[in-house]
Structure 1
Amino acid sequence: MPIMGPSTPAAGDLARLRQHNERVVLAAVRASGTPRVAQIVADSGLGRTAVEDVLATLVARRWLVEERAAIRGRGRPARSYRFRAEAGCAVGLDIGAYSVRAVLTDLAGRVLATTRRPVSPQTRRRDRLAAADRALADCTRDAGVPERRVWAVGAGTTGLVDRAGRVVRANAIPDWAGADLAGHLGRDGRLVLVDNDSQLAALAEQRRGVATEAADLVLLHAGRRTGLALVLDGRLRRGAYGAAADLSALPGLSWEPAIEYLHAVAPADVPVADRAERAFAAARDGDRRARTAVRRYARAMALAAATAIAVVDPRMLVLGGAFSQAADVLLEPLGAELARLCPQVPELRASTLGADCVALGAACLALDAVDERLLAADRGPLPALTARSV
């Protein structure tokens, strides 16, 4: 039996080095799409022999697929590799007062299915949780994906959420405080991440929306409920207790009651859920009373947004939420009010993600958790993916 000298690496060190190299190569392929071996070598910083050895292992374990270019002329065709994004899925949920939305994506973030189930503020907690379960099942069914392939679930919900995934406060839903979303959604052993809906809408804008190039942004989440959220240095800012930018409890701002300005100009027979949209439509048609109501609403929104802008000095303010669809009548008075309140007004943009913005942000959160688990060097060797597991 050979005796290990001081320069001979121990078996444990070699195993850890191997695991490290696997994660580095996997990360390089995921980041580059379908890179060739030379690019993987350059991006990973590893030697070509080590890279090729790891690539062969990851292909055998079904994490990567080797793709060969068509042969042109002499020599071997160039080999490239892609990450098997179809190996698993992530689900993003938006659990709100009036609806539960779900988005199913593959591991590259490509949307495979979306769905919506209606609820109301009076819906009981167990029924709202059941609606979330059904929305997830709807998405997997529509995409033809077995639920076992859902590796992670992200959930956004109205109110304040603690780090354990439990709702601490939810003014919009009477019995929602205390709901253990992480416990309910993670009962099958999945990764589950839970956060406030406005914060996840901001994450979606920074990752997939109009603010992908903005390192710092404030999101004004305007709809039936109003919220603010911050992205700083490209990262979602939750704060110490998950309440960063939550100004709803400050009575001096009066932004929560501001929607009544819009409701007041809609006919009495219009359902409450449709009154703001009716007010925006009337303002769009030139109705003076509706335009005044929109300006009053914008003034209240601007006061809250200016408070965050003064602290953060962001490059961009994004108007998100359901009311972003009324940007043609809302963005101009909002900008005018901000110009009156702020020494420097950031660039204003309206979201283009639509009603699925929170669910998309929740899916981004879930995919981040998948990456963290896959690429963490202390997780042991990457397991082989069997036909059943994918």
Structure 2
Amino acid sequence: MGSDGGDQPRLRQLNERVVLAAVRAAGEARVAEIVEQSGLGRTAVEEVLASLVERRWLVEESPAIRGRGRPARSYRFRAEAGYVVGLDIGAYSVRGVLTDLDGRMLASIRRSVTPEAPRARRLEAADEVIAACAADARLAASKVWAVGAGTTGLVDPAGTVVHANAIPDWAGTNLVSHFPHRLVVADNDSQLAALAEQRRGTDATEDMVFLHAGRRTGLALVLDGKLRRGAFGAAADMSALRGVAWEAALQHLHAVVPDDVPTVDKAERAFAAAREGDRAARTAVRKYAHAMAVAAATAIAIVDPKLLVLGGAFSQASDVLLEPLQTELEKLCPRVPEVRASTLGALCVALGAASLALDALDDRLLSPTRGPLPPLAVRSI
């Protein structure tokens, strides 16, 4: 390849990103596989591999010795080099998960707040959760390279909460600017819960309607294997439609629970009573399921998905909620997709936020315009 000396640093940067991306995608790869995936010559690949190992982006694994000849060398991306935290910032709690760069969850922390808590206190709780996640994983906080934040309401591309019904002073909060020393990305909580299901669910599908059921309710769409946010980040947001009474539907559950039970625990108590056969509670669950089905049926009629996933905190009550939801959908839809409960439970938003942060981090790491990759510290913990 003909190039003058001034092009060589640029070429090395391009080759670095190509090789790093190949290893990152494979998890662990042999030299021959990297050559095939990258399209580079073997000599160029081996030079880049040696440089990335020296700077601690990659690790050369000890090859198994089988038969004669030199065993094939393999390399893995050093996922323990850095970490991300995914946040779920809600009206009643701030929850966080910490993962390595391969998405393996190493810590999960929750802090309680109230809907009336001022903005500063909610953001302070987010800071506490990040620090507690790092401490729980025995990491220095500086090892958290990126933060993903999921929150109730409409979030614009700049990370500003444009609209939020559940938290009085939350609209106008810019989540990106609150964490100035880290790469930060933010999105709506239901969107991120659907992203987590698409990435981590038991059977990811090309087309899915995600019904986010908890103390706040939402819908999100995965079409052609991709999360669809819409032009303004409000795809499948039906909260303003008068015919969709899903927020009021929580009152059906709350009404069958004693008044002295805290609001934050009432729905779970109603589900528990229904599980035990309480007639009033089972009726309340059916009424709640009807309201959920009306919204879900609207999305089903538009996109005709293969799968409807019940996710969020209430997915943990799928043993009493899934059957009435299916029954109500059959009344409303000419064709009901497969209906399944998520296995991610209350962690779905935080896990989706971590996935969003990892995507943003990959975009930055693998971009050839970012200059040469710097050496990493000798110790990652």
TM-score normalised to the size of structure 1?
0.94
Report 1:188-207 matches (<5 A): 188=181, 190-207=182-199
Aligned to 2:307: 316
In the TM superposition, residue 118 of structure 1 has moved relative to its aligned partner by: 0.6
The answer to whether the 8 A contact 1:211-1:217 is kept is no
Aligned to 1:142: 136
Matched residue of 1:114: which SS? strand
Q: Cα deviation per residue 1:47-78 (whole Å; 9 max; x = unaligned)?
A: 21221111111111111111122434432222
CA distance in structure 2 between the aligned counterparts of 1:367 and 1:39, rounded to whole angstroms: 24
Q: Cα deviation per residue 1:126-185 (whole Å; 9 max; x = unaligned)?
A: 011000001000011111111211111000011111111111111111111111111002
Aligned to 1:174: 168
Q: Which moved more, 1:43-52 or 1:251-260?
A: 43-52
Letter in 1 for 2:131: A
Match status 1:283 vs 2:274: yes
Q: Tell me the C-alpha RMSD between the 2 structures.
A: 1.6
Report 1:31-46 matches (<5 A): 31-46=25-40
Q: Cα deviation per residue 1:310-336 (whole Å; 9 max; x = unaligned)?
A: 111111111011110111111111111
Of 177, 200, 203, the residue aligned with 1:183 is: 177
Q: Which moved more, 1:126-135 or 1:140-149?
A: 140-149
Identical columns (%) = 72
Match status 1:130 vs 2:121: no
Matched residue of 2:196: which SS? helix
Letter in 2 for 1:99: S
Matched residue of 1:258: which SS? helix
Letter in 1 for 2:98: L
Q: Which moved more, 1:359-368 or 1:138-147?
A: 138-147
Letter in 2 for 1:319: L
Matched residue of 2:230: which SS? coil
Letter in 1 for 2:20: L
Of 349, 360, 364, the residue aligned with 2:351 is: 360
Matched residue of 1:257: which SS? helix
Aligned to 1:3: none
CA distance in structure 2 between the aligned counterparts of 1:244 and 1:368, rounded to whole angstroms: 20
Match status 1:345 vs 2:345: no
CA distance in structure 1 between the aligned counterparts of 2:68 and 2:379, rounded to whole angstroms: 40
Report 1:204-219 matches (<5 A): 204-212=196-204, 214-219=205-210
CA distance in structure 1 between the aligned counterparts of 2:223 and 2:11, rounded to whole angstroms: 34
Letter in 2 for 1:205: E
In the TM superposition, residue 23 of structure 1 has moved relative to its aligned partner by: 1.1
CA distance in structure 1 between the aligned counterparts of 2:326 and 2:35, rounded to whole angstroms: 49
Gaps of 5+ in 2: none
Of 362, 368, 371, the residue aligned with 1:377 is: 368
Of 103, 119, 130, the residue aligned with 1:109 is: 103
Letter in 1 for 2:341: A
Q: How many residues align?
A: 381
Match status 1:269 vs 2:263: no
In the TM superposition, residue 211 of structure 1 has moved relative to its aligned partner by: 4.2
The answer to whether the 8 A contact 1:262-1:297 is kept is yes
Q: Which moved more, 1:77-86 or 1:265-274?
A: 265-274
CA distance in structure 1 between the aligned counterparts of 2:2 and 2:346, rounded to whole angstroms: 59
Of 43, 51, 54, the residue aligned with 1:49 is: 43
CA distance in structure 2 between the aligned counterparts of 1:72 and 1:297, rounded to whole angstroms: 61
In the TM superposition, residue 388 of structure 1 has moved relative to its aligned partner by: 7.1
Matched residue of 1:151: which SS? strand
Gaps of 5+ in 1: 1-6
The answer to whether the 8 A contact 2:80-2:380 is kept is no
TM-score normalised to the size of structure 2?
0.96
The answer to whether the 8 A contact 1:68-1:77 is kept is no
CA distance in structure 2 between the aligned counterparts of 1:294 and 1:389, rounded to whole angstroms: 48
The answer to whether the 8 A contact 1:148-1:389 is kept is no
Matched residue of 1:338: which SS? helix
Aligned to 1:259: 250
CA distance in structure 1 between the aligned counterparts of 2:344 and 2:86, rounded to whole angstroms: 14
Match status 1:159 vs 2:153: yes
Aligned to 1:239: 230
